Structure 1
Amino acid sequence: MTYGTLYLVGTPIGNLDDMTFRAIATLKTVDLIAAEDTRHTGKLLKHFQISTPQISYHDHNRQQRQHQLIAQLQDGKNIALVSDAGLPGISDPGFELVASAVEAGIVIVPIPGVSASLTGLIASGLSPEKFVFEGFLPQKKKDRTALLEQLCQEPRTIIFYEAPHRLLKTLEDLADHFGGDRPVVCARELTKLHEEFWRGTLQKALEHYRQQPPKGEFTLILGGAPRAMGVEVPTDTEILAQLQTLMVQEGLSRSAASRTLAQTLNLPRRHIYQLSTDLKD
């Protein structure tokens, strides 16, 4: 028996006019649509007069559904996978279904569409030549801190997603690890009626959104570490040597030495202080 095909269909991130003709045609002709939220996708299908049946596929049922969907594909059914917005598999469990389908020998056909990360990046004014996409930051403090410490010297532009109720906390954490002077673009409600791009530094962004409560979904585009802007960044060994000089010869405390060096080098104080713990008082 011939296997069916798994179609990965991009959907609009806001403006329904971004739906492609190919995406509409695919959703009309497949046997089943696997949707992250069937109610949300149902509105999209109704708008484009698509009557194809749906089945839910999300974080809470992905293991059970994965086996069901693979079995149907192996029975010759054609299935379209969609997320609530954008490309399936980006910041949702879709990649697990794709990996299982690849392992099972099922044909995968991507139907391109809009992506909030790239949409925000190209209009940000920050370098799009080299970038990394991190999506949503971990919620557990330990995991979150470990990731941010890993990224603080990343020279490429970094893209995050964030919900409005967590935006201030995330901006605080980013400023703490990357420094308040790091450039950032906060792209809000992309492709929608109230689309907005706020541009400035992390510190200015904090001041702005403390006065203007965040609304809508955010894509954050963060400038890379100073080396991306042509500034030579000292190695950790060189930083330790400078810290030792400040602490031994000038008698500064660990905290004061870290603060002074962070201002001199324009690097995050947290990173330098973490290095300073390797030195004896």
Structure 2
Amino acid sequence: MSGTLVLCGAPIGDVRDASPRLGEVLASADIVAAEDTRRLRRLTAALGITISGRVVSCFDANEASRADFLLAQLRAGATVALITDAGMPAVSDPGFRVVAAAVAAGVSVSVVPGPSAVTAALAVSGLPTDRWVFEGFLPRRQGERRSRLAELAGERRTLVILEAPHRLPATLDDLSAAFGGHRMGVVCRELTKTWEEIVRDDLAGLCEWAHGREIRGEITLVLAGAPPASPPAEAMVAGTPAAAAFAVTLAAEVAGHEASGTPRKEAIAAVAAAHGVPRRAVYDAVVAAKAR
């Protein structure tokens, strides 16, 4: 009987976010495959557990060859725990090749869910979360990055991107050029860590914030989706039923953002960007709703 591959979600910063089950799996697995074995040792020390099985490395450069070894162990009945430095294996981290090989071989694959910078940033962003898309890391070369952003400019869903701190200013510049400086965005830095920082502004404001400062740590960007081409023409004619209904919609969306903790100014900007209307129109809709 074949064994089980267990994908282990690791804390993204604060070790207290680790689940008790994570410790149990790491302590009992026959093999623990880690992106960085030194970081694994620090994690297990913090959790107060001792790994009883064999520890091997599994990172980008050796994953292809390591997958063959791990698959052989799984076929022999071993329980293999796969863990990366932070977050979930195979999600912008090593692990996909191992999972794909296990699935193709009919080996059981399980998961210990854990913290994720992607969903954490999305949740605190104050931007729509009902439909979103994860883009991962953008191309490092500027020309390729700009081409990719041109393809994404019309994406209507909220967009989540990972970025290295030293590339953040250039990426924000390219985002502003491709999406427009009015598009709302949120920079989430060092989530759950001591120096956690969340900056909400339109892209023009985020560009101004990023330049001229030293930026360190893990970066997750959340960006509002592209607005509709334009609101229905009848909704913009003052005094009509369609305009009144549209104003109610705008005010309700601002209220929803505020309920999630977004300041009113930022909520108004986000709704204006989402619908492609002036911020003043959204502000007026909010004032009118308060007067009712």
Fold match by TM threshold 0.5: yes
Runs of 4+ in 1 over 4 A off after TM superposition: none
- The code of the aligned residue for 2:45 comes to K
Which runs of no fewer than 5 residues in structure 1 stay unpaired?
233-264, 267-281
Matched, 1:50 2:39: no
- The code of the aligned residue for 1:55 comes to V
TM-score, normalization: structure 2? Answer: 0.76
1:57 and 1:143 map into 2 onto residues whose CA distance is 29
Secondary structure of the residue aligned to 2:228 is helix
- The code of the aligned residue for 2:164 comes to A
1:162 and 1:20 map into 2 onto residues whose CA distance is 27
1:37 maps to what in 2?
36
- The code of the aligned residue for 2:72 comes to A
Question: What does residue range 44-123 of structure 1 map to in structure 2 within 5 Å?
Answer: 44-48=43-47, 49-52=49-52, 53-123=54-124
1:183 maps to what in 2?
184
2:19 maps to what in 1?
20
* Range that drifts further, 29-38 or 40-49: 40-49
1:101 and 1:142 map into 2 onto residues whose CA distance is 37
Which runs of no fewer than 5 residues in structure 2 stay unpaired?
233-275, 278-292
1:206 and 1:166 map into 2 onto residues whose CA distance is 12
Aligned residues: 233
What's the offset of the Cα at 1:206? 1.0
1:224 maps to what in 2?
225
2:198 and 2:142 map into 1 onto residues whose CA distance is 28
1:119 and 1:221 map into 2 onto residues whose CA distance is 10
What's the offset of the Cα at 1:231? 4.1
1:216 and 1:107 map into 2 onto residues whose CA distance is 35
- The code of the aligned residue for 2:102 comes to A
Question: Using a 3 Å threshold, how does the CA distance of structure 1 residues 165 and 231 change in structure 2: closer, same or farther?
Answer: farther
Question: What does residue range 202-281 of structure 1 map to in structure 2 within 5 Å?
Answer: 202-227=203-228, 231=231
What's the offset of the Cα at 1:215? 1.9
1:231 and 1:95 map into 2 onto residues whose CA distance is 42
> What do you get for the CA RMSD once the two structures are aligned?
1.8
TM-score, normalization: structure 1? Answer: 0.79
Secondary structure of the residue aligned to 1:154 is coil
What's the offset of the Cα at 1:142? 4.4
1:106 and 1:182 map into 2 onto residues whose CA distance is 45
